[in-house]
Structure 1
């Protein structure tokens, strides 16, 4: 059923008027677009975004939606290197009056069950979890047992001030980490507490997602209890 819904939603393309962009931190930019009334998504899903104000070769890219529907905007937050791709050069050049197109949403990377949940972010992989935690706050799900383990080598962590504020308003526990070994130690505590009663969501660069998934499975966490969102190109 989820696959069928994704296939249907991909053919629904909507124009999103550009609102604003700003530098979130070193090498990280946020872009905000108007949300059409008929557009909705589950916090954590992604869309397929197409550049329309310029002619470029690779004009469509998938990005996680970093906002949740009730915010009334569609927010994309992404890393932009010193030598950005053609797509990212184009999105950086957006001005008032420009639009992009969005197809979707797609993907099953969202909270479904009221079970103990561990959100594991690596770097820019924090974007779907920012959306999820904002949704938890909006829905007043104080009973939901959620832990966020956020691995990032640079400080401060992306969205740290906002995440700290959300942690005060919800039951979400946030742990900031800067070493892979520290992440494994934190995972050991979660596994000891939840084992296969918990659900593990992993988002980040390909190598981080693969290593974390391998570690969880080595600790006897069932594959079906692990959800992955891999960010390619980082």
Structure 2
């Protein structure tokens, strides 16, 4: 059913007007676009964004929407290094009033219930969790049901202002990350939900670690960020 919904959603296209660029850290930028009145999404989902102001190869890229609909903006955040791709270079060139195209939203990386939930973010994988946490705060869901472990090895944690009223542990070592996961699984075991987002190798490693703690596949939700 989820696949069918995604297949239908992908045909929905929106033209988004660029508002501004925000430098979140040394090499992480957020881009804000005006939300169309009829555009909505579930926090945690992503869209397929297409560059339209210049011709480039591979002009479409999946990106998580880091905002929630009530903020009235579509916010995407990405890491841009010294040798960016044509797509990311084009993002940096955006000026107020320019447009990009978004297809979707798609994806099943969103909350289905209010069971105890552990969010595990590595690096730029933090983006869907900004939206999920904004949703939790907006709905005034019991916050002690949720916890975020945010791993960034260079201590480049972004969105701190957005998380100031949430239970977050900012982590810089693998040892600390695994230790805190183990503490959570010991307490909640397979009755909780586990959301993991980050680079492919990190998501795979953390998934296998959860399985080794007898967490079932159905309790693990994954969002893999390709190319990092």
Residues matched between the structures, number: 228
TM-score (ref. length: structure 1): 0.95
CA RMSD of aligned residues (A): 1.0
| C-alpha deviation, 1:24, in angstroms | 0.9
TM-score (ref. length: structure 2): 0.97
CA distance in 2, matches of 1:22, 1:196: 39
| C-alpha deviation, 1:148, in angstroms | 0.3
Q: Which runs of 4+ in 1 moved over 3 A?
A: none
Question: What's the secondary structure of 2:147's corresponding residue?
Answer: strand
Provide the residue aligned with 1:200 in structure 2.
Answer: 194
CA distance in 2, matches of 1:207, 1:124: 14
| C-alpha deviation, 1:143, in angstroms | 5.5
Q: Counterparts of 1:99-114 in structure 2 under 5 Å?
A: 99-114=99-114
1:74-113 deviation line (CA, Å, top 9, x unaligned): 0001000100001000111011221000000000000111
1:161-200 deviation line (CA, Å, top 9, x unaligned): 3212x32xxxxx2111110111110011100111000000
CA distance in 2, matches of 1:224, 1:11: 29
| C-alpha deviation, 1:144, in angstroms | 5.8
Question: What's the secondary structure of 1:221's corresponding residue?
Answer: coil
Provide the residue aligned with 1:170 in structure 2.
Answer: none
CA distance in 2, matches of 1:143, 1:176: 18
Q: Counterparts of 1:150-161 in structure 2 under 5 Å?
A: 150-161=150-161
Q: Which runs of 5+ in 2 are unaligned?
A: none
CA distance in 1, matches of 2:12, 2:49: 12
Q: Which runs of 5+ in 1 are unaligned?
A: 168-172
